[in-house]
DNA sequence: AAAGCACCCTGTACGC
DNA sequence: TGCGTACAGGGTGCTT
């Protein structure tokens, strides 16, 4: 569930809470979440490591340690929680990392898709990610050039983390609506004007979503570290709004399936070709 | 290169 | 109310 804005919110809050803290142990309830590593080895390697800072790359959380890094991917249902060691542990918190001083970093993840890596160099996990959309290096010119080299549809291309890092289903749909581009348009057919609109739309949508601390679509959906919902859901134009009026032209929003993913668009603003 | 599918898991929403 | 089914904000691996 968490995309770039939600993970950015976690990273900022975790950095404030955990910078300077030391891990003292780990309990692993679902070993597959360690990507093959032995739980005992993981726990002993993590013990004694101090958190230098917490940041985000794409949809991944990066805990820079005094030696190496802990990288977390929350995938569909992951949510980090910082709690006192005495507080009741949610049955879905399969990964619990002990902190000196009586606190714990817990990973609540009902679907168990989340992954944790303890690596010497975070680039071993992050190395294939595409550009950061909120970084100045993500330019409209580069966007136009790279779109022109691809013949696939816009929707799966924007979901591809090697093309651009951090976008997921919500913010791809929102960006395509803002840019007035149909999700099934071929990337090399949008032209320079389309590429410039798409670049501006991605940056604008993500900036607003970060400022709003993410989108919470339903109960049981995204919550920040404290359990509070985001505020972006009220500003979404198309995602989850099938049948509701387009904010721009009032035509009913439509939901279709593109590349196996639910996709929301305005059939009037986003024509298959224009 | 691009597209389609199975798969990894469980909770929730919805139709009957 | 209970039950079956489809679907979910992510990603990988394989085949065509």
CB burial of A79-101 (b: ≥16 within 10 Å; e: otherwise) equals bbbbbeeeeebeebbbbbbbbee
Kindly give, in sequence order, each residue whose CB lies less than 8 Å from that of residue A89, ignoring residues fewer than 6 positions away. Answer: A83, A96, A106
Nucleotides of B under 7 A from a protein CB: 1-5, 8-13
**Chain A, 255-274: which CBs lie within 7 Å of strand C?**
261-262
CB A103 within 8 A of CB A155: no
**Does at least one atom of strand C sit less than 7 Å from the CB of A2?**
yes
Q: For residue range A1-50, what is the model confidence (pLDDT) as tens digits?
A: 899 999 999 999 999 999 999 999 999 999 999 987 899 999 999 999 99
Kindly give, in sequence order, each residue whose CB lies less than 8 Å from that of residue A19, ignoring residues fewer than 6 positions away. Answer: A51, A52, A53, A54
Residue A1 pLDDT: 80
Q: For residue range A98-132, what is the model confidence (pLDDT) as tens digits?
A: 999 999 999 999 999 999 999 999 999 999 999 99
Q: Which nucleotide is nearest to A74 (CA to C1')?
A: C10
Q: Which nucleotide is nearest to A186 (CA to C1')?
A: B2
**For A76 and C12, how far is CA from C1' in angstroms?**
14
Q: For residue range A122-167, what is the model confidence (pLDDT) as tens digits?
A: 999 999 999 999 999 999 999 999 999 999 999 999 999 999 999 9
- Beta strand A103-108 with A115-119: parallel, antiparallel or unpaired? unpaired
Nucleotides of C under 7 A from a protein CB: 7-12
Kindly give, in sequence order, each residue whose CB lies less than 8 Å from that of residue A261, ignoring residues fewer than 6 positions away. Answer: A155, A159, A169
């Amino acid at each position: 569930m968490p995309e770039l804005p939600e993970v950015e919110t976690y990273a900022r809050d975790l950095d404030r809470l955990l910078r300077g803290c030391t891990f003292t142990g780990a309990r692993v309830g679902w070993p597959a979440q360690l990507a093959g590593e032995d739980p005992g080895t993981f726990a002993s390697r993590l013990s004694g490591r101090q958190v230098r800072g917490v940041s985000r790359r794409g949809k991944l959380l990066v805990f820079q340690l005094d030696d190496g890094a802990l990288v977390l991917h929350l995938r569909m249902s992951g949510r980090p929680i910082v709690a006192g060691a005495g507080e009741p542990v949610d049955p879905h918190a399969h990964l619990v990392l002990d902190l000196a001083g009586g606190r714990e970093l817990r990973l609540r993840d009902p679907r168990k898709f989340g992954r944790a890596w303890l690596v010497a160099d975070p680039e071993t996990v992050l190395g294939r990610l595409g550009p950061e959309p909120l970084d100045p290096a993500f330019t409209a010119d580069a966007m136009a050039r790279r779109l022109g080299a691809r013949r696939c549809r816009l929707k799966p291309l924007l979901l591809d983390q090697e093309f651009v890092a951090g976008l997921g289903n919500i913010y791809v749909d929102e960006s395509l609506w803002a840019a007035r581009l149909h999700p099934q348009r071929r990337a090399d057919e949008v032209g320079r004007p389309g590429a410039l609109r798409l670049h501006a739309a991605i940056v604008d949508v993500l900036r607003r979503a970060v400022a709003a601390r993410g989108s919470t679509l339903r109960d049981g959906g995204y919550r920040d570290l404290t359990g509070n919902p985001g505020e972006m859901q009220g500003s979404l134009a198309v995602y989850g709004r099938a049948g509701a009026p387009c904010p721009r032209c009032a035509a009913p929003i439509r939901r279709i399936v593109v590349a196996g993913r639910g996709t929301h668009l305005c059939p009037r603003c986003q024509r298959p070709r224009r």
